[in-house]
Amino acid sequence: MVRPMGSDQDSERLVRDFCDAFVAHDAEALRPFLADDVTYHNIPMDPIDGVDATIAFLAGFLGMCDKLDFEMRHVVARGDVVLTERVDTFTIGQVVAPVPVMGTFEITDGKISAWRDYFDLAQVTKLFTGEGAS
């Protein structure tokens, strides 16, 4: 099945705006970017299906963090696929934990329909237990 592809610029703008929206620290602010049937998958963990489940997960996740910033290192868009190389920095109390992440976003009808993030879970565990965080 061939899907029509959006423009590279539109897809990239959607993903950049979505990542920028995390600064508001409000999971509901992310809902307009996501398709109803979105699949969100942090690759070391089980995938989450559907916008309501994704928003609920993100709300719980954001609730643990005092602050979350996404630093985009590289973004490549081709039609309805956007690849991001990022450093996601989580602040939880005195712990500031920068995590290198590679993300893949698929766009359908102007919304994110699939979002996969690849990162080292062992590194994240060390950061959040205070071994290697600043």
The neighbouring-strand residues paired with 132 are none
Do 62 and 25 touch, CB atoms closer than 8 A? Answer: yes
Neighbours of 77 (CB within 10 A): 22
Distances in whole angstroms, Cα of residue 53 to Cα of each of 36, 56, 133: 10, 5, 30
**Active-site residue (options: 26, 88, 109, 120):** 88
Residue 117 appears among annotated catalytic residues: yes
What's the gap between Cα 3 and its chain centre? Answer: 23
The identity of residue 74, as a single letter, is H
Q: Is 69 a catalytic residue?
A: no
Active site residues: 88, 117
